[in-house]
């Protein structure tokens, strides 16, 4: 028996209805005659009260859920008429992850959207028949999600958000900010980052070997370990850090940024979320909400495995010049000229 959604989830359901923008009665008056209500389920690794979760519920078409709902509405899918959205948070550890997934499975959804590699793997372990669309994944082939990017096969497809070579690019950028760099710390949680960190570490180490920089992995397994892990790089020899693509770090982005300010350690991040929290710089894919295309096709009968995995079309460099000044860094003009956005 499926339990009723919690109060927090119920509030989010009302937000979904608000985002739909047009009442069911209005669409029925226009002649909409759905054969049945389709269920689109979404999992998020963030708490439902996290700022990023709330932002995703905005009616901005660039927000993940706002873009999905708006995109589906443009294609004729309307909340309360022929579609129903359900969202669950997997935040809170393995037991909460499994409970949230089981609750979603019990709803018998027509498609499930996942927001991280961990969630996608956990859902795939539960179902090989319900279509799954991952919003972000770094190594879908290596993780066994798909047979190939062009021909996924099975019941899964989605969007990648970076390649393994990004590791070397992050090091190149941080060396421009810290030209006398002797060592670089690499922050990640082995449980929640691709291939326990190795997906990016290989290219970081290759770039470091060519530039004479020492690479020091800094794995963390709990939020309480973040401060000490970053504090290690405040002493000589000159150091900077790279934060890997990692849902754990996104959830704990405030603690990460606070520790870099406390110990005056320059760090480059993979997403703008960290810059929004007061980080120094980020380089990563521009957010493009394209999941509505695939969800629409799946709801109309296309198999998820027949839809190719799509890669980012553009990357962006963001720099916070005020944070750089607080860290005593002099940003080269050549770097600032390449930035897509400079914040003060």
Closest by CA to 266, choosing from 232, 287, 300, 242, is: 242
pLDDT greater at residue 149 or residue 57: 149
Q: 128-139 burial, b if ≥16 CB within 10 A, otherwise e?
A: eebbbbbbbbbb
Q: What is the pLDDT of residue 74?
A: 92
Torsion of CA 328, 333, 338, 343, to 10 degrees: 40
Q: Which of 16-25, 227-236, 322-331 has the lowest mean pLDDT?
A: 16-25
What is the band of 337 on the pLDDT scale with cuts at 50, 70, 90? very high
Where is 202: in which H helix or E strand? helix 198-211
Q: Answer whether residue 58 shows pLDDT above 70.
A: no
Which CATH homologous superfamily contains domain 166-285+315-343? Response regulator (3.40.50.2300)
Q: What is the pLDDT of residue 191?
A: 92
Q: What is the mean pLDDT of residues 16-27?
A: 46
pLDDT greater at residue 59 or residue 13: 59
> What is the number of helices (H) and of strands (E) in the chain?
15, 12
Residues in the chain: 344
Segments of the chain assigned to CATH 3.40.50.2300: 7-160+287-306, 166-285+315-343
Spell out the residues 6+ positions from residue 40 whose beta carbon is closer than 8 angstroms to its own.
68, 72, 83, 84, 85, 86, 109, 110, 111, 113, 295, 299
Q: Answer whether residue 22 shows pLDDT above 60.
A: no
What is the band of 293 on the pLDDT scale with cuts at 50, 70, 90? very high
Q: What is the pLDDT of residue 57?
A: 59
Q: What is the pLDDT of residue 1?
A: 33
User: 297, 131 in Cβ contact below 8 A?
Assistant: no
Q: What is the pLDDT of residue 221?
A: 97
User: 116, 46 in Cβ contact below 8 A?
Assistant: no
Q: What is the pLDDT of residue 62?
A: 57
Q: Which residues pair with 133 in a beta bridge?
A: 113, 157
Mean of per-residue pLDDT scores for the chain: 88
CA atoms within 13 A on the CB side of 232: 16
The pLDDT > 90 percentage for the chain reads 70
What is the band of 79 on the pLDDT scale with cuts at 50, 70, 90? confident
Q: What angle do CA 212, 231, 192 make, to 5 degrees?
A: 80
What is the band of 85 on the pLDDT scale with cuts at 50, 70, 90? very high
What's the CA gap between 138 and 302, in Å, rounded?
A: 24
pLDDT tens digit sequence for 264-291: 999 999 999 999 999 999 999 887 668 9
Q: What is the pLDDT of residue 52?
A: 75
- Could you tell me the fold of the domain covering 7-160+287-306? Rossmann fold (3.40.50)
What is the band of 30 on the pLDDT scale with cuts at 50, 70, 90? very low
pLDDT tens digit sequence for 181-212: 999 999 999 999 989 999 999 999 999 999 99
User: 256, 230 in Cβ contact below 8 A?
Assistant: yes
Q: Answer whether residue 20 shows pLDDT above 60.
A: no
What is the band of 220 on the pLDDT scale with cuts at 50, 70, 90? very high
What's the CA gap between 48 and 35, in Å, rounded?
A: 32
């Amino acid at each position: 028996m499926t339990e009723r959604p919690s109060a927090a989830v119920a509030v989010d359901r009302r937000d979904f209805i608000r985002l739909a923008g047009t009442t069911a009665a209005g669409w029925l008056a226009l002649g909409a005659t759905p054969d049945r209500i389709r269920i689109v389920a979404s999992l998020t690794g963030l708490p439902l009260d996290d700022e990023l979760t709330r932002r995703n519920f905005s009616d901005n078409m660039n927000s993940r859920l706002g873009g999905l709902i708006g995109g589906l509405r443009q294609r004729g899918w309307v909340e309360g008429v022929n579609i129903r959205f359900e969202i669950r948070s997997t935040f809170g550890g393995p037991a909460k992850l499994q409970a949230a997934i089981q609750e979603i499975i019990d709803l018998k959804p027509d498609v499930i959207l996942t927001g991280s590699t961990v969630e996608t793997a956990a859902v795939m372990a539960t179902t090989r028949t319900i279509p799954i669309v991952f919003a972000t994944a770094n190594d879908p082939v290596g993780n066994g999600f798909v047979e190939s990017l062009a021909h996924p096969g099975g019941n899964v497809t989605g969007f990648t958000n970076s390649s393994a070579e990004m590791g070397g690019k992050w090091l190149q950028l941080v060396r421009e900010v810290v030209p006398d760099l002797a060592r670089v710390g690499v922050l990640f949680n082995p449980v929640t980052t691709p291939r326990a960190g190795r997906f990016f570490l290989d290219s970081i180490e290759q770039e470091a070997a060519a530039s004479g920089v020492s690479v020091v992995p800094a794995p963390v397994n709990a939020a309480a370990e973040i401060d000490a892990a970053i504090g290690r790089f405040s002493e000589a020899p000159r150091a900077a850090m790279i934060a890997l693509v990692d849902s754990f770090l996104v959830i704990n982005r405030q603690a990460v940024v606070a520790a870099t300010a406390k110990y005056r350690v320059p760090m480059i991040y993979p997403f703008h979320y960290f810059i929004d929290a007061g980080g120094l710089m980020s380089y990563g894919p521009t957010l493009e909400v394209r999941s509505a295309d695939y969800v629409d096709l799946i709801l109309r009968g296309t198999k998820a495995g027949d839809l190719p995995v799509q890669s980012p079309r553009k990357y962006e460099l963001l720099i916070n010049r005020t944070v750089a000044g607080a860290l005593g860094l002099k940003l080269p003009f050549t770097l600032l000229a390449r930035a897509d956005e400079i914040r003060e």
